[in-house]
Amino acid sequence: MRVCCLAVILAVHIALGTASAQQPFIVGPVTAAPGTAASGTIQIPPRPGDEGTSLPISVIHGTRSGPVLALVAGVHGQEYTPILALQKLRAAIDPRTLTGTVIMVHVANLPSYLARTIYYSPADDKNLNRVFPGKADGTLSERIAEVITREVIERATHVVDLHCGDGNESLRPYLYWITTGAPQVAEAGRQMALAFGMDHIVVDRERPVDAKASIYLSNTAITRGKPALTIESGGMAEIDTDSILRIERGVAGLLKHLKMRTDGPDPIANPVLLERSAVLRSSFTGIFLAAVEKGQTVAQGAVIGRVTDFHGQLLEEIKAPFAGEILYVVGTPAMNKGEPVGFIGSTVR
């Protein structure tokens, strides 16, 4: 009887001990003790055909255990507003008052960032946000994806992939709520979307469900049972304050929603839900000129833009397939066959 009671008391003490004393949080070479923040770099070694790269990260580790929120910026190298927002958030999130942990990837696609390329990596011509979950023995983009999957997504409970219009995309802010995960993951994702506070939400029902071919970063989390968002704020390689502030405000809303901080902005009450959306693409390589602006409302059949050959001969008029709002439109002339010219959304499914 007495031995039994002692064993129970000991077990309770051990359980309480592990619950209250946070362990250090380690991501790659970065170790953050409870109540501290730490930054460092994960090296991605070279393989034949490339020079390798690195992944600048930070870990902000609270004093109490809780959610692990991953924030990833710079998946596309000319998307600067999220990169700048993470610099501000790195300084603003106080680990001493934080519950849980924030992992930041400051610039996910350093090869593209340093070469100032849009869409594709200069190392392998791949779009990093189309090669998830990545491959340990693959091309450089595939290896970056594999490290982000293993070191960041697998360690997180919630993931936000922070984008803006790429260097050629004039974009009005919106985020994607992805509905294809398990019902409880989709519902948690919906609540994250509202907490982020952006007033236009694209309802995305078409992401793959296979965890081994998740393709997109946020979908890599969702296919692993973790709620995630992709957000878009900014564009055209600009660094406007409003777009940066919108991301800071969004993360503050999420920290409150996830009970990682006590104060913060409330969820948005009545966002515009875009039930239908379509990426419009060019059938030709040539010179593109937009006929609309971001945020413009257009009728079905309205001309979105025109592609000419290099001598000025009209090749194609791209028209709206349904009435809706222009979420982004390409704002620079260079155009390759099959590439996007714009993105349209409608509240009517």
* 246 contacts Zn ion (rule: CB under 5 A): no
- 3-state SS string for 189-250: HHHHHHHHCCCEEEEECCCCCCHHHCECHHHHHHCCCCCEEEEECCCCCCCCHHHHHHHHHH
CB closer to Zn ion, 30 vs 142: 142
Q: Which of 334, 236, 232 is closest to 293 using CA atoms?
A: 236
Minimum CB–partner distance for residue 75 and Zn ion (Å)? 6
CB 163 to Zn ion: min, Å: 4
- Closer residue to Zn ion in complex, CB, 163/224: 163
Shortest Cβ distance from residue 303 to Zn ion (Å)?
26
Q: How far apart are CA 122 and CA 120, in angstroms?
A: 6
Q: Which two tokens stand for residue 29?
A: 């070479």
CB of 26 to Zn ion, least distance (A): 29
Residue 72 CB, nearest distance to Zn ion (Å)? 11
Q: Which of 163, 172, 257, 261 touches Zn ion by CB under 5 A?
A: 163
Is residue 76 within the footprint of Zn ion (CB under 5 A)?
yes
Residue among 84 and 93 whose Cβ is closer to Zn ion: 84
CA 100 – CA 28 distance, rounded (Å) = 18
Give yes or no for residue 143 binding Zn ion (CB under 5 A).
no
- Tokens 């992401």 found at: 207
Stretch that binds Zn ion, among 156-164, 179-187, 202-210, 217-225 (CB under 5 A): 156-164
Name 40's bridge partners: 57
Contact present, 106 and 57 (Cβ < 8 Å):
yes
The smaller minimum CB distance to Zn ion, of residues 93 and 164, is found at: 164
Q: Nearest approach, Cβ of 164 to Zn ion (angstroms)?
A: 7
Verify cis geometry, omega within 30 degrees of 0, for the bond prior to 133. yes
Residue 132 is classified by DSSP as B
Interface with Zn ion by CB under 5 A: which range of 91-99, 157-165, 298-306, 316-324? 157-165
Q: Is 126 in the site for Zn ion (CB under 5 A)?
A: no
Nearby residues of 249 by Cβ (< 8 Å), 6 or more positions away? 197, 265
The closest alpha carbon to 127, from 145, 154, 115, 104, belongs to 145
Tell me the closest approach of the beta carbon of residue 112 to Zn ion, in angstroms.
10
Number of residues that bind Zn ion (CB under 5 A): 3
Based on CB atoms, which residue is closest to Zn ion, 79 or 146? 79
**Residues in contact with Zn ion by the rule CB under 5 A:** 76, 79, 163
